[in-house]
C-alpha cells in the first residue's frame, strides 16, 4: 500500500502531461536517423532529448531503468537524478529509442517510452533476459508463468469466452520461442510474430481493437518493467521471471535485492505502487502508434499513447 497523501498522488499523475512532451521530443529527435543504418546515433539523439526535457520538470526523479550503468552510459544512467527539484519524488524507467535496430533499418514499430512511478516502487531489473506473459483486463488473474503456454491459453480462452483456437498469441520471432509457437499451433490458435519491441505486444493485449490475447516470450528485463507499468494502468496483468544466464548475471540480481533471481515476479512486485503512469510516442509506424512524419513547412506530426491509473488516451500533435 502506498503511504502517499491524495495531494501527493495527484502530483505524480499531474506529471503525465510533461512526460508526454518528453517522449514526443525523443521521437522527433530520433526521426532524422530513421533508415540511416546508425543505431547509436538514433539512440543518442533520443536519449539526449529525453534527458534535456526531463531536467526541466518540477520533480525529484531517479532513473532506475535507463541506458546502463554510470560507467557505460553518459546519459540516463541508472541512479542519475533528474528534474528541477521541489516536485514529487519519482522513479523513472526509460527507453528513449525502443527498437534501435528497427529505426536504423527504417522498419516499423519503434517507440520512445517512459514509465514513471512513486519513488522506490519499480523493480530495479538488471539488463538481462526476462520471461514474460501479459494479458488484458478480461484475463487478469488467469495467468501463471510457471505453467505451460498451453495451460495459460486454456485459462485465458475461458476468461475471454473464446474457443482456445480463436486466440492470438503474440511473441518475438526468435528460435528461442519455437517451443511456444509449437504449443499455439497444437491447439489451432494463431501466432502473431514480430521482430522487436515486446512492449507494444504487451500493451496490445489490453487494447480490444488490436486483437491480441496474450503476449509471451523471453525479452529484455528493462522492457518488462516498462510494460508492467503500462498493463497496471490499463487494468491488464503481467508476470515475469528473470533469466540470469551467467554467474555474473545471477550476482547482479542478488545485488539489486532479488534474493531468488529466478522467482516469479507478479505485476504488483514489479510495480509496487498504483501511483504510476506510462507514455509512448511512435518513432516509425507501428501496431499501436503512427510514427513521426514530416508535414509542410518544417512541421512534424507525432502520435502518442498515455496511460494513467484513471484513463488512457492517444494524442496526435504537430510540432
Annotated binding residues, written as ranges, equal 43, 67, 95, 98-100, 129, 174-176, 196-198, 220, 223
**Min dist. Cβ of residue 107 to ligand VTB (A):** 11
Per-residue cell: 281: 510516442
Q: Per CB under 6 A, does 198 bind ligand VTB?
A: yes
Q: Find, among 231, 260, 41, 224, the residue nearest to 127 by Cα.
A: 224
Show the site string, 199-218: x = touches ligand VTB by CB under 6 A, - = not.
x-------------------
| Choice between 25 and 138, CB closer to Mg ion | 25
| Choice between 99 and 282, CB closer to ligand VTB | 99
**Min dist. Cβ of residue 133 to ligand VTB (A):** 13
| Choice between 96 and 220, CB closer to ligand VTB | 220
| Choice between 138 and 252, CB closer to ligand VTB | 252
| Choice between 21 and 284, CB closer to ligand VTB | 284
Among 118, 131, 223, 237, the residue binding ligand VTB under the rule CB under 6 A is 223
Q: Which stretch binds ligand VTB (CB under 6 A): 44-52, 73-81, 154-162, 197-205?
A: 197-205
Among 67, 98, 237, 275, the residue binding ligand VTB under the rule CB under 6 A is 98
Q: Per CB under 6 A, does 131 bind ligand VTB?
A: no
Residues placed in the known binding site for substrate = 98-100, 129, 174-176, 196-198, 220
Q: Per CB under 6 A, does 67 bind ligand VTB?
A: no
Among 46, 83, 219, 244, the residue binding ligand VTB under the rule CB under 6 A is 219
Q: Which residues bind ligand VTB (CB under 6 A)?
A: 98-99, 174, 196-199, 219-220, 223
Amino acid at each position: 500500500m502506498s503511504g502517499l497523501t491524495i495531494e501527493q498522488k495527484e502530483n505524480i499523475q499531474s506529471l503525465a502531461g510533461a512526460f508526454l512532451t518528453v517522449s514526443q521530443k525523443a521521437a522527433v529527435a530520433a526521426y532524422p536517423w530513421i533508415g540511416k543504418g546508425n543505431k547509436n546515433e538514433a539512440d543518442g539523439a533520443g536519449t539526449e532529448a529525453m534527458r534535456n526535457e526531463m531536467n526541466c520538470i518540477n520533480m525529484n526523479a531517479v532513473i532506475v531503468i535507463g541506458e546502463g550503468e554510470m560507467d557505460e552510459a553518459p546519459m540516463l544512467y541508472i541512479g542519475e537524478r533528474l528534474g528541477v527539484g521541489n516536485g514529487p519524488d519519482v522513479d523513472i524507467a526509460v527507453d528513449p529509442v525502443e527498437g534501435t535496430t528497427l529505426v536504423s533499418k527504417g522498419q516499423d514499430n519503434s517507440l520512445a517510452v517512459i514509465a514513471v512511478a512513486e519513488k522506490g516502487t519499480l523493480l530495479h531489473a538488471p539488463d538481462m533476459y526476462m520471461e514474460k506473459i501479459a494479458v488484458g483486463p478480461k484475463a487478469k488473474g488467469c495467468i501463471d508463468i510457471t505453467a505451460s503456454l498451453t495451460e495459460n491459453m486454456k485459462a485465458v480462452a475461458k476468461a475471454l469466452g473464446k474457443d482456445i483456437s480463436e486466440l492470438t498469441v503474440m511473441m518475438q520471432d526468435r528460435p528461442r520461442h519455437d517451443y511456444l509457437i509449437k504449443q499455439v499451433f497444437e491447439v489451432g490458435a494463431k501466432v502473431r510474430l514480430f521482430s522487436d519491441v515486446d512492449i507494444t505486444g504487451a500493451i496490445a493485449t489490453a487494447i480490444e481493437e488490436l486483437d491480441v490475447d496474450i503476449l509471451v516470450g523471453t525479452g529484455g528485463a528493462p522492457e518488462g518493467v516498462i510494460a508492467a507499468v503500462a498493463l497496471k494502468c490499463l487494468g491488464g496483468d503481467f508476470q515475469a521471471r528473470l533469466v540470469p544466464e551467467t554467474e555474473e548475471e545471477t550476482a547482479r540480481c542478488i545485488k539489486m535485492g532479488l534474493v531468488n533471481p529466478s522467482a516469479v515476479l507478479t505485476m504488483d512486485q514489479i510495480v509496487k505502487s498504483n501511483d504510476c503512469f506510462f507514455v509512448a510516442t511512435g518513432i516509425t509506424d507501428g501496431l499501436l502508434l503512427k510514427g513521426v512524419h514530416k508535414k509542410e513547412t518544417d512541421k512534424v506530426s507525432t502520435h502518442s499513447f498515455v496511460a494513467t491509473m484513471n484513463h488512457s488516451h492517444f494524442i496526435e500533435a504537430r510540432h
